[in-house]
Chains A and B, each alone.
Chain A
Amino acid sequence: MEKDISESIAWAKINGDVLKSLEAPRKLYWVILVAALTLFGVGLGCEVYQYQIGMGVANLNNPHVWGLYIATFIFWIGMSHSGTLLSAILHLMHADWRKPIYRFAEAMTTFSLMTAGLFVMVHLGRLWQFYYSVPYPNERGLWPNFQSPLLWDAMAIFTYLSSSVIFLFIGMIPDLAICRDHLHEGWRKKLYTILSLGWEGTDRQWRNFRVTYLTVACFLIPLAVSVHSIVASDFAMSQQPGWHVTSFPPYFVAGALYSGCAAIITLFIILRYVFRFEEYMTLPILKKVARLTFAISMVWTYLNAIEFAAVWYSHDQAAKDVLLQKAMGPYAPFWWMMIFCGSVVPLMLAVKRFQTNIPVLFAVSLLLNLGMWLERWMIVAPTFSHGYYPWTWDGFQWPSWVQWGMVFGSFGWFTLLFMLFCKIFPSVSMYEVKEMVYHRSLASKKNELAEKGAH
């Protein structure tokens, strides 16, 4: 077994390498940043246009009242899950290999939640009145409808977002202190000075830090599960055929972890190149992420099969018709594409040779995410075109360029936030990599001694 990280890296070199990512990335960084900004501009333009003219420009209609916005919203919520998986769940399980990569995964969580939140907003017919659906004290004594899964959604997402921002920040404090001490004068030094909260690395501070970090990690895990279960409830608690499925919450959570892991592979490869992190984001770690992704893809495939079987054997004709329509109706190309990308493509990850092959992994991870995006669309759209009521069976409503513009714009927005984060904050956790190196060298020293016969 290859080593996750070399034990011979000096601590000062770790500092130097990571801090360099804040200063001088490769040129590709700027290319990505400009591309992201352009895409975001397109999305913003679409939203301004839709806000002015009305939701009709999205080519939504009755019965197709929800379009790509809700599908992409679920996609981004799903994306946010693997950050918590890597940083909190694997932290509790003492999986050492997560240490160099959890920071950017956690940043991914935060930013994909922010992106998802935008989709709730652009989806609203009266964006300017969005606060009607959140509980806030007002002189009229009016409250939102606590029965609505959409309200639970808003609350769950907000809780998850604020907790993951706190978690991301707390985990960064020792690193921010390193930045404070090593970076040249400027606005960033001031920022680090404020954010590092006077960290000096005393024993007492470390003890408090560990306890806080663990507490927030434990708090975050149930939130991650609940937030996507609640998004699933938006569908499972409705009465519509194809949505009213008991297995939706675990299915959504599995799908979320799946797309999140695939996105981690994508970003892993990009960051590794752009910031020259080859020594920290090593191939053995990538291999472990690839295996994890493969395992989750199989869980997702299994839950998908359960859903189909449950519908097929349920004698619920309406739900059955929706399933048949997905497989044979106007949505069939997308649906089969989803099956292919979600269940067949990940089989590539089972091949050992591909688990460390960067170009293959990059292509596979993009396809997996395409599949997972299609999955969300295939959950939302077919139910509208083939619901309970025959008069409204009208096949297909192709989303207009406004919808597509905003979908692509959201990728721009996410990339923009993420890339800015990686340039301003250390995207590899320096103190934890040091711990990792230290534990490795301790272990190897022990082995050496044992070989010599000493105890």
Chain B
Amino acid sequence: MSVTNLLENWSQFRHGHPVDDKPHEEYKWAMAIDLDACTGCNACSVACYAENNIPVVGKEKFNAGQQMHWMRIERYWPEDGREFADQGAQFLPMMCQQCEAAPCETVCPAGATNHTADGVNSQIYNRCVGSRYCSANCPFKVRYFNWYDYPSTDNVWPAEMTQQLNPDVSVRSKGVMEKCTFCVQRMTAAKNTARNEGRLVRDGEVQTACQQACPTNAISFGNLVDPESKVAKQWAHQQVELSKEVQAKDAQEGGTDLRGYRIMEELRLYPSVMYLERVRESAI
């Protein structure tokens, strides 16, 4: 963060409010996840590990709570008195919500996490000093810290798997924070191609790894600024607006049948991920 940025471009790095501060011009990457379609198969999580060179920490460290899954599948059981055999789990894929007014950004002492012009919450590994304040202030706890130096740890990537590491993504050393980037390397590649051809990125041109791996197409990803994109249509159809902490449809008496919602909207984080509520009975 240079002095010029501090004085003139502040709103490029921090958003208090997604629209009032500085509306997104070309891109605003966003997601929609249909929980009705999610089967909890964990393919997205695995794909994310593979795409983003996430260390596999092993059983012991996993039990100590030091796992690094940027994308995690959470399991919930409604408390209606029924036990497991009669009722299966409900699943919720959870990753960084790329909040517009992200609480992690304001607290970082080094300015290592910032908002990009595309409306994504970026993490600069080189700049991170590891104070972990961002994680402390993240309501979703989707930031993962490198408790050990994983690239030099045995069996994180066994010998045959080092060939599988993604060359477009750096591996992270000990002491830095990391989290879901919405597969920023794919977005950058697509934007470069588009710029070379003098156009904007087309809908569907960028897929996140989790989206690509999902067997039920529960995840859609795209540019919210483009009203013709699938994501924008889904958000519009569900009447979920990026810049509102209370959606108009929720203020209606009796509610609506629309399923779209964002998690903990009332905290005024303006997350970029919309979930579609589950309606079907959970299978066993």
CB pair B107 A148 closer than 8 Å: yes
CB pair B148 A53 closer than 8 Å: yes
| Chain B residues whose CB sits within 8 angstroms of the CB of A146 once the complex forms | 6
Contact of B128 among A63, A125, A140, A389 (CB under 8 A): A125
Stretch at the interface among B136-144, B156-164, B181-189, B216-224: B136-144
Asked, given contacts A55-B145, A62-B144, A397-B65, whether A151 binds B129 with beta carbons under 8 Å apart, the answer is no
Give the total of A residues in contact with B, Cβ under 8 Å: 48
Contacting residues of chain A (375-415) with chain B, CB-CB under 8 angstroms = 384, 387-392, 394, 397
Asked, given contacts A125-B129, A144-B109, whether A56 binds B135 with beta carbons under 8 Å apart, the answer is no
Indicate if B64 sits at the interface (CB-CB under 8 A). Answer: yes
Task: Encode contact with A along B113-150: 1 for CB under 8 Å, 0 otherwise.
Answer: 00000000000000111111101110111011111110
CB pair A394 B127 closer than 8 Å: no
Task: Encode contact with B along A279-322: 1 for CB under 8 Å, 0 otherwise.
Answer: 00000000000000000000000000000000000000000000
| Chain A residues whose CB sits within 8 angstroms of the CB of B149 once the complex forms | 54
Contacting residues of chain A (108-148) with chain B, CB-CB under 8 angstroms = 123-127, 129-130, 132-133, 140-148
Give the total of B residues in contact with A, Cβ under 8 Å: 50
| Chain B residues whose CB sits within 8 angstroms of the CB of A447 once the complex forms | none
CB pair A54 B146 closer than 8 Å: yes
| Chain B residues whose CB sits within 8 angstroms of the CB of A60 once the complex forms | 145, 147
| Chain B residues whose CB sits within 8 angstroms of the CB of A141 once the complex forms | 2-4
Asked, given contacts A53-B148, A62-B144, whether A124 binds B131 with beta carbons under 8 Å apart, the answer is yes
Indicate if A239 sits at the interface (CB-CB under 8 A). Answer: yes
For the complex, what is the distance from the CA of A166 to the CA of B204, rounded to whole Å?
Answer: 64
Contact of A143 among B2, B76, B148, B174 (CB under 8 A): B2
Contact of B129 among A129, A140, A142 (CB under 8 A): A129
Q: How far is the CB of A386 from chain B (nearest CB, A)?
A: 12
CB pair B147 A56 closer than 8 Å: yes
Q: How far is the CB of B122 from chain A (nearest CB, A)?
A: 13
| Chain A residues whose CB sits within 8 angstroms of the CB of B6 once the complex forms | 143, 146
Indicate if B232 sits at the interface (CB-CB under 8 A). Answer: no
Q: How far is the CB of A381 from chain B (nearest CB, A)?
A: 11
Indicate if A61 sits at the interface (CB-CB under 8 A). Answer: yes
Chain A to chain B: the 9 pairs with minimum beta-carbon distance, closest first: A125-B130, A56-B147, A61-B65, A125-B175, A145-B111, A133-B109, A126-B175, A54-B148, A65-B132
Give me 21 A-to-B residue pairs in the complex whose CB atoms sit less than 8 angstroms apart, sorted by A's number: A56-B66, A62-B141, A65-B136, A125-B145, A126-B128, A126-B129, A132-B127, A133-B109, A133-B129, A133-B131, A141-B4, A142-B127, A143-B6, A145-B110, A145-B111, A148-B107, A148-B109, A150-B131, A388-B267, A391-B141, A392-B141
Given contacts A61-B66, A125-B129, 6 further A-B contacts (CB under 8 A): A125-B174, A125-B176, A388-B139, A389-B140, A392-B141, A394-B65
